[in-house]
Amino acid sequence: MSNEIELKFEINDSDIAALQLYLNQWAHSDELEFSAISNQKRTFSQLTLCNTYYDTVDYYLRHHGCGLRVRTSNDSTITHFEITLKRDKKTIAGLHERAEFNADLPNSEPDLTVLPYSALPDNCDIERLQQDLLPLFSTDFKRQVWLISFASSEIEIALDQGEIHSNGKIKIIQEVELEIKQGNKQDLLNFALELSRFNLHLFSQSKAARGYRLLKNAPLKICQFDPQVHQDLVQLLKFWQQNEEYALEVNDLELYQQTLNQINYILIDKYLPLEPEFTQWQMALSSINSVKEFAFSEINTKLKLILIANLTVN
């Protein structure tokens, strides 16, 4: 078992090439520095990843906080099959933390017996669950990976481009994931601040969550303002992120402006009245005329990352 800690972002078409160039240069610099002590390559060939997600008719795994997939990965030389179960998810804006269990498979058929019993829900009847598993949806995408040394950490950056297929519908995958391989969350957040110049938008929805939404034809929901938002930074970030993602999906500028104005009022009162990034964010807020342009802006992402860092430190 591993404890997966990652930041997830959406990225625009127009920013992909610049991000790739930046990461290639960083990885090349790392290779020159570490080649004397390690043969591990910092840049990997592009992979083709085909994933099928499984659950029961009544969504037993989903209701117990678990996600199950079988992944087929191909590079230029080999095909590899792997089963993964993720559970105990905790999400703050685009920061995702969860337990992850992985095991190799001989083929693309799911086999729960290769996973440790502790990975599955308590008192789970594995034999019954195995019989009841059904393929629900799939994701197919190209992945390019860089392994970056930053401060005292090693961070894996993955650029994913492809599609989610569910219930006869398709949703585009175009995202960047930053995962700690060795190190700490503070380094992860600081490196994300470095990448915010490429207009990355923090994203709270995993590929599995989007697949389930398509499967059930479930739209995103508005997060109603609650007084607890004023007292709890985690709830504030949830309110901000959920309404931002809703506004992006339906292009609701009025709702987005209302949400940002409420956040601005709370931040003035509670959190960051003297931060220079907050002042810059307020200045940008005064002239917002596009949901996507503001949501993907460097200063919007920076401010959210700074708030997440405050939670991590405190």
Of 29-43, 100-114, 174-188, 197-211, which range is least confident?
A: 29-43
Token representation of residue 310 = 């405050």
Q: Could you tell me the pLDDT band of residue 77, with boundaries at 50, 70 and 90?
A: confident
Q: What is the pLDDT of residue 32?
A: 67
Write down the number of H helices and E strands in the chain: 11, 9
Q: Which of 197, 142, 153 is nearest to 178 (CA)?
A: 153
Whether the pLDDT of residue 255 is over 80: the answer is yes
Q: Could you tell me the pLDDT band of residue 55, with boundaries at 50, 70 and 90?
A: very high
- Mean pLDDT, to the nearest integer, of 69-96? 89
245 within 8 A of 204, measured Cβ to Cβ = yes
Non-local (6+) Cβ contacts of 17 within 8 A are none
Of 69-78, 102-111, 287-296, which range is least confident?
A: 69-78
pLDDT digits (tens, 9 = 90+) for 214-231: 999 999 999 998 888 888
Q: Which of 61, 207, 213, 227 is nearest to 138 (CA)?
A: 207
Whether the pLDDT of residue 180 is over 90: the answer is yes
148 within 8 A of 191, measured Cβ to Cβ = yes
Per DSSP, 80 falls in state E
Q: What is the pLDDT of residue 314?
A: 47
Question: 152-172: b or e for each residue (b if 16 or more CB lie within 10 Å)?
Answer: ebbbbbbbbbbebbbeeeebe
Q: Could you tell me the pLDDT band of residue 313, with boundaries at 50, 70 and 90?
A: low
87 within 8 A of 63, measured Cβ to Cβ = no
- Mean pLDDT, to the nearest integer, of 226-251? 92
Question: CA separation (Å) from 11 to 16, 243, 261?
Answer: 7, 18, 25
Instruction: For residue 43, count CB atoms less than 10 angstroms from its CB and return exposed for 0-12, middle for 13-18, buried for 19 or more.
Output: middle
Angle at 245 between CA 242 and CA 247, to 5 degrees: 105
* DSSP3 helix / strand / coil % (the chain, rounded to 5): 45, 30, 25
Q: What is the pLDDT of residue 35?
A: 54
Sequence length of the chain is 314
185 within 8 A of 5, measured Cβ to Cβ = yes
Q: Which of 188, 168, 163, 164 is nearest to 178 (CA)?
A: 188
Q: How far apart are CA 260 and CA 175, in angstroms?
A: 24
